[in-house]
Structure 1
Amino acid sequence: MFHTLFPFHILYRAKTYCYEMAVLFDEQYGSTTLNQRYVCTATGAVKIIENKKETFQSIGHAFRSVFLPQGYPESVSEDYLLYQIYDTIQAFASSITGTLATQAMLKGVGVGDESATALAATMTWILKDGTGMLGRILFAWLQGSSLDCDAKRWRLFADMLNDFAICLEISAPFFPLSFTFIVCTAGVCKSIVGVAGGSTRAALTLHQARRNNMADVSAKDGSQETLVNLAALICSLLMVPIVAEQHLLVWALFTIFTGVHLWANYSAVTSVVMETVNQARLHILVQDFFRRDTVSLLSVKETNMREPVIFKTNWRFNIFMGSQLRLLSDRLDDLAQLQHLYSVEKYILGLNTVSRKIHIVLRRDSTEIDQLMAAFQAEVINVLTQMQQNGVVGVGSIDHRLGFTAVNENAINEILCSSFHTAMAKNDAYEVSRTSLELTKNLFPIFFSKLQNSGWTTSHVLLGADEWRASWGSAMQ
């Protein structure tokens, strides 16, 4: 029975094959040079032959294993290495300036001063920490939802605020009467830095982790930062005795390292290439969509390079997603008109030409694609208004300097654009909303297709929608 189940001639053939072909398997660790071969010997045994690496190759592999995510570079985004280089530079510079601030703080609370008391120093430190805790809670309440949407801008803001806080701490000993107030202000700033910096770091880590390995990427980032802080600590041990009483030298070092810190942070955030659509990147894409006659939209990389990371985008109409119905109008007739206009849509867009605000009410069953469509309509209003004010498009007519052929070659879209500019000139908010909606219905499918073909992620968006939802039309049934 056993002989019928196990064909021994297969084993014989495998053994014969082993004699003829020495190499059985070739094994490699990821994309590294670490590899090994399995070969058979004359006796039929299997032997493992490892790649003989040079010493520097072995050190490099050990460094990658300790400080880089497993599977690097395939397991992370393409911008990972460049970002981490700049992040390492800024972390070193920040550690140095932080040491200078610590020295100044200790001096300010009375270390080395015989007349100072431990109680006074303790009270100052408690007040500093207490105000910082309150600042952390308040900032997270006010800005927590916007940190995901503008991760790069808030990341840079956090580091700039951190430099300001360090400047306050170094300055505090020179103002003994206001010392407690200054250090408390610095504590609030640093607490905001902790919230904004930590939250945006998590958002960037999520972007960089391409194998659902966010924990590994975050852990290795922590290892890199620890190594940098250790190097900065050694430098600080050598530096502090030299600059202890040299105030001019302290300020000179602070200025130099702060400059390096800001440059490295700006370079780091601008090197990040995010594929998700936020309001700033959408504004750039819609501008390009209308102004250029091209088959595809701007690439993901080029759009990210144009994204503002210091100041907010200058919209003609500020956009508020997920607003309450009462913000559209306080008149029943206006709300009834808008409800009829958007009866088949899953959002209602209302604008105020006086306050320059666009409020978007989302229906309860709206999806992220509906949010993207609503934001697209809001950007159509902004872009066409901006072109009109810049003289690119004349009121009541379409100038062929407008590069988008779907407008120039489509008579309906030309008429709609002309009606839009006439309504904007008359401050007719309802007509602006109507014509922009018709343009959106005609152009959004084209835009969405180009968005997908250009490599953008459309499964989720970061448009900062609030949580208000309403029901009307078919959603009421």
Structure 2
Amino acid sequence: MENRGNVIATEKYGSREVWDYRVKNGVMRRERAGGGGETAGSAIMSTLKSVFLPQGYPESVSQDYLRYQLWDTLQAFSSSLSGTLATQASLRGVGVGSQEATVAAATVTWLLKDGTGMLGRILFAWLKGSKLDSEAKKWRLFADVLNDVAMFIEIAAPYWPAFFTLILCVAGVFKSIVGVAGGATRAALTVHQARRNNMADISAKDGSQETLVNLAGLLVSLVLIPLITNNPKLTFILFFLFTILHLFANYKAVRSVVMETLNEARLSIVLHQYLLDGRILSPAEANQKEPVFLEFKRKVPIKLGVRLGELVRDFRELQLALRNTTQAYLIGIQNGSVCVCLGSDTSVHDEIRAACQAVCLGAVLHLSPQGGALAQLSKTMNCWELVAESYKLTDQIFQPFLTGLDQAGWQTDRTLLDWNEWRVDWKKMS
């Protein structure tokens, strides 16, 4: 066997490349571990990885990164092609190619579309901005569905010339909402994917991937445009095919995300399983069960971080609320909703505890459990007695539940629970 010299040092680049430094006859050389130098193919692959993947991949990102990015790439490609169809329809609608159209009329239409879109962006960010972190998957999928709706409206708009400007403005509002929801949830997912405080690098490489996909979509669009021009039937057929692919890829993308941070949905899933059989679901198991479609009407709303006036209506109820608790939060039931008031010195663990108790109360109000730890609570009819019993149940289960969360791989030093910012200081009454 050939003597290649003694290894005096070994270096690696993440887990992808390992190199040995060898000395033979006083000469030091560098070679890939396992023998052989770097081939042209491996050099090209290494360059492509460094261009399109975050530095230190795969150790520098979450385990679901590659699976999510592959589906995200597919949805971006199909969306790019649908966007081409919508853009052509919009241009035809404002009069491109028509002898009767004027530049001024087309400009006014486009300005109105952009203006209403800007207003929609501001309004949506005001109303729903705080929800985008806690329910990133749901809003990510919602944004892509709304984007497809907006593009369909743009394609159909030229067939309603009397309402073209109005329809285009509606599509502009929808797309502005897509921009806010899509961008914000993309940022939330980037925080999840970053494992070395490398959010900027992941975001930059995501932009490179998206640019490459859009470039591929542009090349395909150059082939499609001559085929769909003055052919509305083919335009709609291709749009529906691209939309089906887009929605399927988006669904698979959000389903592939495994977040280790608790939001209300994941906490509810894990807590109910724990109360049922004492088992703590892993992040992968809970994420697989997490719903990814928005619920516009919840059966028992849970309001976290409310004003004191939303929790109690008079001094007597305040006395009942204070008598029931020794915790850094108050909890009660008002108008069919479970309300939680936080103290000013509430810790993250207190927040998780309060959310657990609220989830239990919500489950009892929604339906009477057939068995398990919640069955006893369902027998209590008075709201404040029910709250008092829920404190006792939480006292029994919370500490072992929290320990189980840590052991199962959940992050308990921060949460994505949708807390409002109200904080209340109260004095204990005798």
> Which bracket does the TM-score occupy, shorter chain normalised?
over 0.9
Alpha-carbon distance in 2 for matches of 1:168, 1:313: 23
Structure 1 residue ranges without an equivalent (≥5)? 1-18, 394-401, 408-415
Cα gap change, 1:114 to 1:267, in 2 (>3 Å) = same
Q: What is the CA distance between 1:37 and its match in structure 2?
A: 2.8
Structure of greater Rg? 1
Q: Where does residue 73 of structure 2 map in the other structure?
A: 88
Q: Once the 2 structures are TM-superposed, how far is the Cα of residue 417 of structure 1 from its aligned partner?
A: 5.1
- 8 Å Cα contact 1:417/1:435 also seen in 2: no
* Per-residue deviation, 1:387: 5.3
Letter in 1 for 2:286: T
Quick check: 1:434 aligned with 2:388? yes
The match for 1:125 is 110
Letter in 1 for 2:138: R
Deviation string, structure 1 residues 306-348 (Cα, Å, up to 9, x no partner): 0000133986421001101111232211112212222x21111
Task: Determine which of 197, 217, 220 is the counterpart of 1:235.
Answer: 220
- Mapped pair 1:71 → 2:52: no
Cα distance in 1 between the residues matched to 2:313 and 2:401: 34
Aligned to 1:291: 276
More deviation, 430-439/52-61: 52-61
C-alpha separation between the residues in 2 aligned to 1:151 and 1:251? 31
The answer to whether 1:59 aligns with 2:44 is yes
2-structure distance, mates of 1:305, 1:313: 21
CA contact (8 A) 1:86 1:268 kept: yes
User: Letter of the aligned partner of 1:107 in structure 2?
Assistant: R
Residue 369 of structure 1: aligned partner: 349
Number of residue pairs aligned between Structure 1 and Structure 2: 424
**Is 1:286–1:383's contact at 8 Å kept on the other side of the alignment?**
no
Picking from 351, 361, 370, the partner of 1:381 is 361
- Structure 2 counterparts to residues 31-430 of structure 1, below 5 A: 31-32=15-16, 34-42=17-25, 44-49=26-31, 51-292=36-277, 294=278, 296-312=279-295, 316-342=299-325, 344-352=326-334, 355-386=335-366, 388=368, 392-393=370-371, 402=372, 407=373, 418=376, 420-424=377-381, 428-430=382-384
- 1:71 aligns to what SS in structure 2? coil
Q: Distance in 2 between matches of 1:360 and 1:240?
A: 56
What percent of counterpart residues are identical? 48
- Alpha-carbon separation, structure 1, partners of 2:220 and 2:71: 19
Give the Cα–Cα distance (whole angstroms) in 2 for the partners of residues 99 and 454 of structure 1: 46
Alignment partners' CA distance in 1, 2:105 and 2:59: 54
- Provide the residue aligned with 1:447 in structure 2: 401
User: CA 1:178/1:321 → structure 2, altered by over 3 Å: closer, same or farther?
Assistant: same
- In structure 2, the partner of 1:6 is none
1:27 maps to what in 2?
Answer: 11
Shift of 1:56: 2.5
Tell me the SS of whatever aligns to 2:249: helix
8 A Cα contact 1:156 1:266, kept in partner = yes
CA gap of 1:333–1:121, structure 2 versus 1, over 3 A, is same
Q: What corresponds to 1:467 in structure 2?
A: 421
Amino acid at match of 2:337: K
CA contact (8 A) 1:316 1:385 kept: no
Give the aligned residue type for 2:332: G
Structure-2 separation of matches of 1:22 and 1:358 = 70
Give how far 1:385 is off: 4.2
Distance 1:190 1:265 in 2: 17
Counterpart residue number, 1:399:
none
* Unmatched 5+ stretches in structure 2: none
Indicate conservation of the 8 Å contact 1:315/1:382, yes or no.
no
TM superposition shift of 1:164: 0.3
Query: Structure 1 residue 52: deviation in Å?
Result: 1.6
Deviates most, 97-106 or 445-454? 445-454
TM-score by length of 2: 0.95
